[in-house]
Structure 1
Amino acid sequence: MVSEFTTLNGIVLTPAVPKPLSHWQPPPPGCFKWLRGCPENRSPNDGVLVKRKKETLMASMWHQPKLVNDGRVRLKRWNPKKVQGNFLAWCSWDSICQPIEAGGLGFRESKNFNKALLAKLTWWIAAGRDSLCVNALRSKYKVQANWLGGEPCKNASPLWRAIEKLRDVVKKGACFVVGDGSSIDMWKDPWVPWLEGFIPTPKDSTLPITDLPVSNLIDPATRKWKINVLKELVDSNSLEAIEKIIIPLQPLQDKLIWTLDPCGIYTVKSAINCCLTPRTSYSPADSLWKQLWKLKMHERLKVFLWRMGSNALPTKQRVFQRTGYSDPMCPLCGVEEESYSHLFLHCQMIKPIWFGLNWGLHSDNIPAANHQELLNFVVNPPLCPGVSVQQKTLKAQTSIQLALTLESIWNLRNQVVHNNAQVNHLVIVKNLEERIIEHFNILNPATCCNTLLEVLPRWSAPPPNSVKFNVDAATSKNGFTIAAIARDDTGFVIHCWSKSFPTTDPLIAETAALLWALEIARDNCFSHILIEGDAKICIEALAEPEKVPWRIQTLVSNIKCVALDFNVCSFYWVPRDVNALAHSFAKFASSQDFCFSCNSTNLPPSVHEVWIRDLLALSS
């Protein structure tokens, strides 16, 4: 209990009295004296640079009402330097907050940002984070195992009520990874990541639900599911989803993970994108925005193209349409209204710029009648038909040249409107060509051409008395087909194996292929092995435990467990060309209706051709 005479940094601390959120008041300014200069100075305790600003810290510690959040957005968005006044915005705040795939900029709404930051505290409470603050809160409010689905606490502080209020947000992504299953209740805790709500559906809904640990569903001898027991308890959809859960070979502790992040770690970004931002149905045209932000050009050019594609450039025609006054005629020629197509393509003062460049383009022939078609013309420029080794580079160069030309025209228009500048086409074209060459040098197309002259990577033989496995996975009718090929130090194919694997996730299939290769090597008494695969995420997960995707955490744990049975066991990532033999064999086996295996004497023709190619490269 805090006495009324207790002070902190000159501020009198009074006993906390719970109040409804409608009485919310911002904390006193004196509470943040110690934050003065935080973005520039270092913390006096550990010297870590404090990067979060005061507003972010406040949003992560207090539930802020909608009125406060909207007021902050209104102040900063519309007129940050004045309390009142008029301001014309060409894009609404809601449209800017849309994801970039939908034509927005992906800005975070203040309300959702506040919720996502507070939900992080909710996640820490649910996951049992080992920290002084979390332990104190869990102890004070007596947090139990099923806290996420429990009733809210009465007579709690405003912070705790805000934390409990966001449990619904956390429940959208919180799920247990089965270790030994002893701490997971089958009917109350989320533990099946492929089901909605992460909880299985009982086969008979009329029966009473009793406490049942998931450990009772696992056979301790074989470390597999008790299928007969599950068939009596859950429906067919739940049974199919549970069978996809891989049980670790050695019992581990059950772990709560955040399924909306690849690594299972709660992040504010994932919470906003998946839980708090309304999901809209994107049309096929929305992929144009995704392509825009992937262009290899300066970010300023991308923002200019986004403004043009969003109809946010303040042309005179747009100003006249929005305000009802001003002259809508083109400031360059004064003949037609200043629309997008006229300004950038059909104006008589602009045509010499297009024709004066090295390609001598007649802008009247460009099929673009509005801002969206202009953007599509830049992002997907029309190229000559035919296959070319430099098609990708040529497309990137053309997009850069078109974007720079459009930006140069817009800058010329602004100089004429605001500075009464004179149009000098020779100077404009000369400066534009220099900028284009500068951007081309940054793109460095010479590197793309020189790579064709380099020696392509090829398969290499393992050390003497060692066996190298190449693994891969290919899609099939019932999920995936995983394949493994063993070769000795001469490149001779010892054997090829394949089998179907019931999953729709390629990452799980590729990781399962690595584990299966280890099991094959152990069954064949190989003591020195090397395993190669072209799935980089899987190989990196074995070397960096903190970056293991949650979907393959159990598989990675099993791989490390089985790898201890060998004298030498190494894993390597190789490009697809080096792993071509395993890739071709997996592709062939996926077309078969049975588990296919063979040796060097009966390889399929397509696989045999790749093997001979590897042998020739090995001997050269």
Structure 2
Amino acid sequence: MDQALRKFWWMGSTEKDRYLALTNWNTLCTPLEDGDLNFKRFEDMNLALVSKLGWKLAKGEESLWTRVFCAKYWENGTNLFWNPKSPKSLSFGARSILASRDLIRKESCFLIANGRATNMWHAPWIPWLDWDQFRAAFNPMIVPTSTFVSSLLNGDREMLLMGNSLLGWLINQSSRVENADKDPIWGKIWKLKISERMKLFLWKLGRDILPFGERLQRIFGNEVVCAICDEQEDSAVHLFCHCPLAKSLWLASPWGVRSEELNFSSPLQFTKWLLEPIPLMQQGNIEVEEFRKFGISLCFILWTARNQAYHDHVQPSFFTTFNRIKSLVAELNSGDFVVFVDAACKDLRSVAGIIVTKSVAEFVEAFSVQLQAFSPLEAEALALLHAVQRFAKDSGLEGCRSVCVGVGWSGSYPVGLSLLDSPV
């Protein structure tokens, strides 16, 4: 499953066996705020799910399934979750549950009350020791003996009347330090009011995993020059700042940026400048949000033009590229609702999925609806009608014929869809 997910992420399909991965998959599985995509490994998801069951055994929960589990696998029905020796007759599910012991042991600790049910040698009850330090603190010759923390306490003390010890999760101090050192740029990228495709492009730029010639040269050793100017190396900083086309586009912007004077040591540094143009902000007369939209749109369109020049040998012109940038910026500033639909049909029944966004940046709602349709085309048209009727008052639409044209409507309506001609 992980392999199929990796292939789909890098190639968009699972048919090819070879593909170019410009970053490690385990890196992509780290959280968004750490600069990655928070993909979930199936092994981790499985462990998390069985750990919920292991946690109930670890804290001694008295439920029907825990009593049955203990009675089946341990002598006299005693809960021996913390015992390192597992019964030989464990089923696959039982082995999976007990496999969560190491995770729970490292990330939890008992708050000692009477200590009568807390295993001294195998349960975590000393919060300032990690598990390796905990094991090293005891003589391995006496560990096999069954001893509880209550044997260390004075039985006459009132505190022993408080009840059983409680198991809770530990808050790791090192994780707090790591959180304080995280680069805030990644959180800013995912909160931008731009399309998800542009956010992903900006993330790839910051992570330096766009397939520029400079990046590929580190892998294959082949030197590649810029496909647009055919003068300097094919790199992110060159394409977006120092290429003649980029310099003309930046100079024609409302801020008249002279990009040839910009020097960045890495794509990440350039990405930070796109989001926080501090030198320009110090000069005044700059709307940061408008600058971000223009700068990101410029890079996005320029990257598309570079790919067309590299693969199709189509050289971009200044006016065409600049008009595309202005159109994209206008689209980002638009307040119109955009409706995406898809439908599947079987036996005169269909289900449609509908996503509504405001312009291309702001998510509004996603929902599904059951329809009666004879074909996928009819189902998608009915889904469009359903969505437009739902949001007509907010968007100010008078009818949905234009929406149908926007998704490639052929001009002839299926039977029963003449109502699309009428105002919504």
For the superposition of Structure 1 and Structure 2, which TM-score range results when normalised by the shorter chain? 0.5 to 0.7
| Partner of residue 357, structure 1 | 253
The answer on 1:95 being equivalent to 2:6 is no
| 2:197 equivalent in structure 1 | 300
- CA drift at 1:287: 1.7
1:288-343: CA deviation from partner (whole Å, max 9, x where unpaired): 55454465333433321221122211224444554456x82322222223222221
Q: Which residue of 2 aligns with 1:258?
A: 169
Q: Work out the percentage of aligned pairs sharing the same amino acid.
A: 23
Instruction: Say which of 140, 150, 172 aligns to 1:212.
Output: 150
Partner of 1:153: 87
Aligned-residue CA RMSD in angstroms?
Answer: 4.7
TM-aligned CA deviation for residue 377 of structure 1: 1.9
Report the CA distance shift for 1:101/1:352 in structure 2 as closer, same or farther (over 3 A).
same
How far off is 1:359 after superposition? 0.4
**Cα deviation per residue 1:131-173 (whole Å; 9 max; x = unaligned)?**
5544422221136355224422233223323332331111112
For residues 432-469 of structure 1, the C-alpha deviation after alignment (integer angstroms, 9 at most, x for no partner) is 34544554678xxxxxxxxxxxxxxxxxxxxxxxxxxx
Which residue does the alignment assign to 1:404? 297
**Distance change >3 Å, CA 73–CA 148, structure 1 → 2:** farther
Distance in 1 (alpha carbons) for counterparts of 2:180 and 2:138: 41
Q: 1:416 Cα deviation (Å)?
A: 3.6
**2:50 matched to 1:118?**
yes
Secondary structure in structure 2 of the residue aligned to 1:257: strand
Q: 1:423 to 1:144 in 2, by over 3 A?
A: same
User: How far does the alpha carbon of each residue in 1:233-278 deviate from its partner, in whole angstroms, 9 at most, with x for none?
Assistant: xxxxxxxxxxxxxxxxx957654333359xxxxxxxxxxxx8xxxx
Q: Deviations over 1:180-233 (max 9, x none)?
A: 6465548455455555459999x999999765179958964xxxx79xxxxxxx
Give yes or no for the alignment of 1:312 onto 2:209.
yes
Q: Assess if the C-alpha contact under 8 Å between 1:123 and 1:170 holds in 2.
A: yes
Distance 1:387 1:350 in 2: 22
Q: Is the 8 A contact 2:118 2:165 kept in 1?
A: no
CA separation of 1:366/1:387 partners in 2, compared to 1, >3 Å: closer, same or farther? closer
CA contact (8 A) 1:416 1:422 kept: yes
SS at match of 2:229: coil
Aligned partner of 2:365 in structure 1 is none
In structure 2, C-alpha distance between the alignment counterparts of 1:82 and 1:290, rounded to whole Å: 29
* Structure 2 unmatched runs, 5+: 336-424
In structure 2, how many angstroms separate the alpha carbons of the residues matched to 1:75 and 1:429?
A: 35
Partner SS, residue 148 of structure 1? coil
Q: Check conservation: 1:97, 1:108, Cα contact below 8 A.
A: yes
CA displacement at 1:371 relative to structure 2: 1.8
Q: Do structure 1's residue 141 and structure 2's residue 38 form an aligned pair?
A: no
SS across alignment from 1:89: coil
CA gap 1:322/1:366 in 2 versus in 1, 3 angstroms: same
Report if the CA contact (8 A) 2:190-2:199 is conserved: no
Evaluate the alpha carbon distance shift between residue 145 and residue 376 of structure 1 in structure 2; reply closer, same or farther with a 3 A threshold. Answer: same
Taking the aligned partners of 1:204 and 1:151, their CA distance within structure 2 comes to: 18
Structure 2 CA distance for partners of 1:307 and 1:71, relative to 1, 3 Å: closer
Provide closer, same or farther for how the CA distance between residues 163 and 430 of structure 1 changes in structure 2, counting only shifts above 3 A.
same
Matched, 1:164 2:105: no
Over 3 Å counting, the alpha-carbon distance change for 1:127 and 1:395 in structure 2 is: farther
- Structure 1 position 126, deviation (Å): 1.9
Kindly indicate whether the alpha-carbon contact (under 8 Å) linking 1:186 and 1:214 is maintained by their aligned counterparts in 2.
Answer: no
- Contact 1:192-1:199 within 8 A present in 2 as well: no
> Is 1:425–2:327 an aligned residue pair?
no
Give the secondary structure class of the aligned counterpart of 2:40.
coil
Contact kept in structure 1, 2:117 and 2:164, CA below 8 Å: no
Query: Could you say which residue in structure 2 is the equivalent of 1:591?
Result: none
Counterpart of 2:257, as a letter, is L
TM-score (normalizing by structure 2) = 0.59
Instruction: Tell me the equivalent position of 1:489.
Output: none
Contact 1:288 1:376 in 2 (8 A): no
Q: Distance in 1 between matches of 2:282 and 2:248?
A: 30
Give the structure 2 partner of residue 340 of structure 1.
Answer: 236
| Contact in 1 for aligned 2:116/2:148 (Cα 8 Å) | no
Q: Does the C-alpha gap of structure 1 residues 426 and 210 become closer, same or farther in structure 2, counting only changes over 3 Å?
A: closer
Specify whether residues 294 and 214 from structure 1 end up closer, same or farther in structure 2 by C-alpha distance, changes over 3 A only: farther
Give the 3 Å change call, closer, same or farther, for CA 168–361 of structure 1 in structure 2. Answer: same
Unaligned 5+ segments in structure 1 are 1-68, 227-249, 262-273, 275-279, 443-620
- Give the 3-state SS of the residue equivalent to 2:110 in structure 1: strand
CA distance in 1, matches of 2:239, 2:13: 33
Which residue pairs with 1:513 in the alignment?
Answer: none
1:105 equivalenced with 2:16 (yes/no): no
The answer as to whether partners of 1:191 and 1:198 remain within 8 angstroms in 2 is no
The answer as to whether partners of 2:186 and 2:203 remain within 8 angstroms in 1 is no
Q: 1:72 to 1:433 in 2, by over 3 A?
A: closer
Q: Give the Å deviation of 1:356.
A: 1.2
What letter is aligned with 2:258?
H
**Higher mean displacement: 309-318 or 74-83:** 74-83
